Structure 1
Amino acid sequence: MTSFSKLGKRAGLPVVALAALTAASSVSAANWRYAHEEYEGDVQDVYAYKFKEYIEEHSDHTLQVYRFGELGESDDIMEQTQDGILNFVNQSPGFTGSLIPEAQIFFIPYLMPTDMDTVISFFRNSEAINEDFPALYAEKGLELLKMYPEGEMVVTLDEPITTPEQLSNKKVRVMTNPLLSETYSAFGATPTPLPWGEVYGALQTNMIQGQENPIFWIESGGLYEVSPNLIFTGHGWFTTAMMANQDFYNGLSDEDKKLVKDAADYAFEEIIEHIDGLADRSLEKITSSNDKVTVTRLDEQQIAAFKARAPQVEQKFIEMTGERGQELLDQFKQDLQEIQQN
């Protein structure tokens, strides 16, 4: 087998698709390639096209955006980025966690607040986000350009629940992320890792009884059709990261490096505006289109019962990541405290 064929097999790409990508690279080095994990019009897609808009308006470069499924699933597009087939990738720490264990910190329940102003301020000003994470990603050949929030996490189930005990024996889909599995074990459920492409069918056939996602994704993916009971547990926000292949980025001119950084900043500001009110709009679409949907918002006492189980997840995170994880967690808490005090 040729090295070309081996690369195509590893990346999960048909040889024809790989050939097209490679040919595009050889024809024009200014034709950059960017893949993300979501569908047309979803948050990552909006971010990608705002990034593309800035790049193409401020340079002669072009940018090709690939959406979910066009080049495979999340693991595939990360491999393709590390191999240099893709220049840019947008991937949630939920999938990056196996590559960068410290990225799983976003899945410690009740670590992050859920009010938008505090969340946005955290992403703008956090030392952990803007200084510590870039160094961690660099170790894996990735240039972290921007981390940003997408929305509050919401659990959908086959019936409404208000206590951890009611989650007993329920199989809840989780991303392929060990710490997220620990979270749902702590909550009392049976965590079931599945790739995104299998989730709708698994809910429909009762292979699993629930899952978690931001409300816009629950609406976009039609998950409420097969998992109609929405529970707002207040346990965290969905976070994602946009990055570049580091060899590609380091090979850019100073002018192009600035262009890429400025484009990432521009897209961040645009996405913050985009997600403002997005959850409410998505929930309205869901409830107006399906009369079987129920919405449960846990009160403070009910949340306290779930929050009481969070320390074991935090301890598991430290076991997984060691001293570096502890230092990152301490910085997270310090950043959040300073933001909330201000």
Structure 2
Amino acid sequence: MKKVVNSKVFKTFLAGVLLIAATHMSVHAEEWKYAMGEGESDPQGIYAVAFKNYIEENSRHTIKIYPVGTLGEETDMLEQTRAGILQFLGQSTGYMGGTIPEMDLFTLPYVMPTDTKQLDYFFKHSKVINDMLPEIFREHGLELLSIFPEGEMAVTTLEPFHSPADLKGRKMRVMPGSPILVETYEAFGASPVPMSWGDLIGALKTKMVDGQENPTVWIEAYDLDNLTNVLTYTGHGHFNASASANKKFFDALSKRDQELVRAAAAHAHQVILNEAQKLDAYGLGRIVRTNPSYKIVTLTESERAPFKEAAKAVQASFASKSASNKSVLDQMMADLKEAEKKAE
């Protein structure tokens, strides 16, 4: 009789343990929302999918991705993430300058190199990215996970240009939310028009604007080469993006899940570093093949010189806005010098 009782007790105990374990697992197996400013086949999308796959392959959590346009404009998604409605956000650094002024660092003209080895080293080892900006993000309710390059900026216009004088009076669309982009195109001689991505296509079709800037992969993917006549490489910058999490959400995660998120971000970061350069080259190649009459121009060093000179005032303006701006710019310049040496 004693053995029977013990057997029943053991079975009851085991059932309780299994029930508790199942409850524990179901509570902690969550669906997390990830919104971004691009489609799933674009650089931010490639990062987001790699992030999602890593999370789902290494935990019971799932990620639901919301591509561009599904949850409003870029500023809407940023505020939804800060409010905790979304857990993760992929967004161009250019859109973030209005909320986090230091992020305009990445849109400053003629600061970032065009050499891909230097860029890769910088984005992996930069002190400004790994040490300084995470603290700044936390002040705005966000946990910074990654900043990565999407491709060299190219300018598409209806008419060619080779100097700031050629751009005088031309209406150039710039991303909203970044004062530095406005200052940049004013310094370049143009008339900048802040405008959301959703309005850009119609504005080009109706000639409300005379041009815009984007990486080649975007220009080809969204047929911007068919809405303009010339693509110009000025060498003035790269299109960069960030990935971040809501800080309260991240802080509330278990240590194991925090490590999981960090590992997923590191994995996705490496994936996009490997893919971004290829995407840019593929975009240009497809434009050349499908639109052979489209004019592609690379400004010479002598043609770039007056643009670089004009850019100095924009860099100085950024640094003068706050001590924090100056601090991150000084550190970035030091980081870039190190990247130039180490990437040789």
Counterpart code for 1:309: A
Moved over 2 A (4+): 26-29
Q: Distance in 1 between matches of 2:290 and 2:113?
A: 30
Q: Distance in 1 between matches of 2:65 and 2:27?
A: 18
Q: Distance in 1 between matches of 2:337 and 2:125?
A: 12
Partner residue, 1:63: 63
> For each residue in 1:215-241, what CA deviation from the matched residue of structure 2 results, as whole angstroms up to 9, or x when unmatched?
101111111110231000000111111
- What pairs with 1:134-213 in structure 2 (closer than 5 Å)? 134-176=134-176, 177-213=178-214
Unaligned runs of 5+ in 2: 1-25
- What pairs with 1:256-335 in structure 2 (closer than 5 Å)? 256-320=257-321, 322-335=322-335
> For each residue in 1:222-262, what CA deviation from the matched residue of structure 2 results, as whole angstroms up to 9, or x when unmatched?
11110231000000111111000000000000000000000
Provide the secondary structure at the position in 1 that maps to 2:120: helix
Report if the CA contact (8 A) 2:29-2:60 is conserved: no
1:28 Cα offset (Å): 7.8
Q: Distance in 2 between matches of 1:284 and 1:301?
A: 26
> For each residue in 1:282-304, what CA deviation from the matched residue of structure 2 results, as whole angstroms up to 9, or x when unmatched?
11111221233110001111111
Provide the secondary structure at the position in 2 that maps to 1:287: helix
Provide the secondary structure at the position in 2 that maps to 1:40: coil
> For each residue in 1:95-126, what CA deviation from the matched residue of structure 2 results, as whole angstroms up to 9, or x when unmatched?
11011101101111111101111111100111
Structure 1 position 48 matched with structure 2 position 51:
no
1:40 Cα offset (Å): 3.0
Partner residue, 1:34: 34
Give me the TM-score of the superposition, normalised by structure 2. Answer: 0.90
Provide the secondary structure at the position in 1 that maps to 2:241: strand
Partner residue, 1:224: 225
CA RMSD of aligned residues (A): 1.3
Give me the TM-score of the superposition, normalised by structure 1. Answer: 0.90
Q: Distance in 2 between matches of 1:287 and 1:341?
A: 34
Q: Distance in 2 between matches of 1:113 and 1:57?
A: 36
Unaligned runs of 5+ in 1: 1-25
Report if the CA contact (8 A) 2:45-2:67 is conserved: yes
Percent identity of the aligned residues? 44
> For each residue in 1:65-98, what CA deviation from the matched residue of structure 2 results, as whole angstroms up to 9, or x when unmatched?
0100111110111111111111000111211101
> For each residue in 1:16-71, what CA deviation from the matched residue of structure 2 results, as whole angstroms up to 9, or x when unmatched?
xxxxxxxxxx9986100000001230000111000000000000111000100111
Q: Distance in 1 between matches of 2:132 and 2:193?
A: 31
Counterpart code for 2:52: K
Q: Distance in 2 between matches of 1:280 and 1:271?
A: 14
User: After the TM superposition, which of the residue ranges 269-278 and 119-128 deviates more from structure 2?
Assistant: 269-278
Provide the secondary structure at the position in 2 that maps to 1:110: coil
Q: Greater CA radius of gyration, 1 or 2?
A: 2
Counterpart code for 1:74: E
Partner residue, 2:21: none
Partner residue, 1:96: 96
Counterpart code for 1:68: V
Counterpart code for 1:307: K
Partner residue, 2:128: 128
Q: Distance in 1 between matches of 2:91 and 2:267?
A: 18
